[in-house]
Chain A
Amino acid sequence: MVATSDIVIEVRDLDFYYGDIKALRGVSLDIKINQVTALIGPSGCGKSTFLRLLNRMNDLIPGTRVEGRVMFEGKNLYDEDVNPVDIRRRIGMVFQKPNPFPKSIFNNVAYGPRLNGIKDKKKLDELVFQSLKQAAIWEEVKNSLDKSALSLSGGQQQRLCIARALAMAPEVLLMDEPTSALDPIATSRIEELVEVLKKDYTVVIVTHNMQQAARVSDDTAFFYMGEMVEMGNTERIFTKPEKQQTEHYITGRFG
């Protein structure tokens, strides 16, 4: 039994529509603080859609509709008086494909703080340093902060994107299949990083890769056909799943 205060995001009866298509049906789950929560399931099951609902990124897609509640620190993110811009500053996101800006490494990381109006060079230097350090990429780029971010390798770019998100000091970090475009070595570096990040952040990670979910997460939620089938402690989900669908998926019978 977890105390309520350990829960950062509480999702209740969430439905989501792309036009007339119902992509999520009645999803309810809790995201716990300083833990890594993995969302797994076959392609098209709604896990990425769900993730993007947690920082209102789906607002950007025309013709979509949300029903239900996403409670973040006692406030429903979909209340009318909530500004999605504020939410995205507090709940950061890392995407499937590394997407650094065509700017220097420094300016990529400083992008967020500058949005917050920070102009002081010393402060920016410090924030960039801290963020790159936290994202475990400082040593590799410390001598080339002025170089274009696009000159980095894919794995480095993804860690830079993580640093960029961390520079906003978000409370929650959403990761949408962050390693699917990376080679195994770059992948393992990101996974190690996730492990470390949960000390300071709450991480929600969508992954296609069940081994990855098993390796990095504390809790796992299994999505299938727009529904959240089962959620629980990762070890339990992978050893003693309660639902047959979950078992079929993790044993590789489909997906």
Chain B
Amino acid sequence: MIAATSKRYRLITELVAFWIIRLSAGLVVLTLGGIVLFLLYRGAGAVNWAFLTESPTDAMTRGGIFPAIIGTLYLTIGSSLIALPLGVASAIYLSEYAGDGWTLRLIRLGIQNLAGVPSVVFGLYGLALFVVFFGFGVSILAGSLTLGFLVLPTIIGASEEAIRQVPATFREASLALGATKFQTICRVVLPSATPGVITGSILGVGRAAGETAPIMFTAATFYTRHMPSSPFDQVMALPYHIYVLATSGTHIDQTRPLQYGTVLVLISLVLGINIFAIIIRTRMRRKKTW
């Protein structure tokens, strides 16, 4: 009798726990779905071909967001160009050369803390260092550098993980053939780690694409009709444009649909980047057989 009760009790506990966990997971998906649906509802009306390909007009109460799309694209590409080589090189150093000691621990601590620095601090730091001290001005270059440093910890983390997953037997085989450590890294380790490095980096960069604070003082401008012609030009950018529309407009009624439209474009871009990364990962995983 006692045995039967305790069994029943166990079953119920199990069931309750299972449903709590299941609902928590469901809630995450629901939140994302809710955001997307809400944005579609509010913003889809504003998005059309002209919106995507034209400049804003009439004090940004009409027209499109083309310069902001282009600006965000430049900043995203620019920050990848800066963060990817730097991040991969750091990851190689940490996983292959650094050994184990207090220097390594110090570097790791630094990277972890860098990841925890609020993005607005990156923005101010970028302003002080790149815009003012190096004299790059408010520009694509300064913004890309700032965003690049923001995503650096993510890229280092992803790359290190990918490098660690390369089987030791590959390294051993290469070294036994008389390859140097550097040759082994270039010819065996990195090619095998590439899928992981790429996926992790794209995910990191996707996050950077949506950041406002770091580019606010370093790259973004309130309004320009001109397409950037050099890395030293300032640009409009989607996140900053949203911020501007939401806070500085004088004709809120007229700008609100444009604002939701811009948000929809931005989130599509970020989700698109993430999905792209996931597709690459799945395809490369299928090819990987070790």
Q: Which residues of A contact B (CB under 8 A)?
A: 55, 57, 60, 62, 85-90, 92-93, 95, 97, 99-103, 111-112, 115, 148, 150-151, 161, 164-165, 168
Q: Interface-forming stretch among B71-79, B121-129, B176-184?
A: B176-184
List 30 A–B pairs whose Cβ atoms lie within 8 Å, in order of A's numbering: A60-B172, A62-B99, A85-B180, A86-B178, A87-B178, A88-B176, A88-B177, A88-B178, A92-B176, A95-B169, A95-B172, A95-B173, A97-B169, A99-B170, A99-B172, A101-B170, A101-B173, A101-B188, A102-B288, A102-B289, A103-B191, A111-B179, A111-B187, A115-B177, A115-B183, A148-B289, A150-B290, A161-B173, A164-B173, A168-B177
Total interface residues in chain B, CB < 8 Å:
21
Closest to B288 in A: A102
Query: A148–B289 Cα gap in the complex (Å)?
Result: 10
Q: List residues of chain A with CB within 8 A of the CB of B176.
A: 55, 57, 88, 92-93, 95, 165
Identify A168's interface contact among B170, B172, B178, CB under 8 A: B178
- Residues of A within 8 Å of B177, CB to CB, are 88-89, 92, 111-112, 115, 164-165, 168
Q: State in angstroms the CA–CA spacing of A60 and B174 once bound together.
A: 12
B220 CB to closest chain A CB, in angstroms? Answer: 43
Q: Which residue of A lies closest to B184 (CB)?
A: A115
Residue of A whose beta carbon sits closest to that of B178: A89
> B170 contacts which chain A residues (CB < 8 A)?
99, 101-102
Give the residues in chain A near B167, CB-CB below 8 Å.
99
Cα A209 to Cα B259 in complex, Å, equals: 75
Q: How far, in angstroms, from A93 to B179 measured CA to CA in the complex?
A: 13
- The smallest beta-carbon distance between B207 and chain A, in angstroms, is 30
| B contact face: mostly helix, strand, loop, or mixed | helix
CB distance from A182 to the nearest CB of B (A): 16
Residues B82-140 near A (CB distance < 8 A): 99
Closest Cβ–Cβ distance, residue A115 to chain B (whole Å): 5
Determine the chain B residues whose CB is within 8 A of the CB of A87 once the complex forms. 178
A87 to B179, CA, bound (A): 11
Cα-based distance from A92 to B167 in the complex (angstroms): 20
CB distance from A208 to the nearest CB of B (A): 19
Enumerate chain B interface residues (CB-CB to A < 8 A).
99, 167, 169-170, 172-180, 183, 187-188, 191-192, 288-290
Most buried by A among B170, B172, B173, B176: B176
Task: Sort A-B residue pairs by CB-CB distance and give the 7 closest, nearest first.
Answer: A89-B178, A99-B169, A88-B178, A93-B176, A99-B173, A112-B177, A150-B289
Q: Complex: how many Å from CA A60 to CA B169?
A: 12
Question: Considering the chains assembled together, what is the distance between the CA atoms of A100 and B192 in angstroms?
Answer: 13
Residues of B within 8 A of A101 (CB): 170, 173-174, 188
Contact across chains for A57 and B169 when beta carbons are under 8 A apart? no
A112 x B173 contact (CB < 8 A): no
Q: Is the CB of A102 within 8 A of B169?
A: no
**For residue B166, which residue of chain A has the nearest CB?**
A102
Q: Taking A164-B177, A168-B177 as given, write out 6 further A-B residue pairs in contact, using a Cβ cutoff of 8 Å, ordered by the A residue number.
A: A57-B176, A85-B178, A97-B169, A102-B191, A102-B290, A168-B178
Does B192 contact A102, Cβ atoms closer than 8 Å?
yes
B149 CB to nearest A CB, Å: 33
Question: Which residue on A lies nearest to B169, using beta carbons?
Answer: A99
Bound CA–CA A55/B175 (angstroms):
10
- Report how far A95 CA is from B191 CA in the complex, Å: 22
A97–B180 alpha-carbon span in the complex (Å) = 22
Within the assembled complex, what's the spacing in Å between the Cα atoms of A112 and B187?
11
Q: How far is the CA of A55 from the CA of B176 in the complex (A)?
A: 8
Shortest CB–CB separation between residue A127 and chain B, in angstroms?
A: 13
> Cα distance A87–B176 when bound, in Å?
9
B286 to A: closest C-beta gap in Å: 13
Do A57 and B175 touch (CB < 8 A)? yes
Complex Cα spacing A92 to B179, Å: 12
- With A101-B188, A102-B192, A150-B289 in contact, is A115–B173 under 8 Å at CB? no
* Chain B residues within 8 Å of A97, by CB: 169
Across the interface, do A115 and B169 meet the contact criterion of CB distance under 8 Å? no
Q: When chains A and B are docked, how far (Å) is the Cα of A62 from the Cα of B101?
A: 13
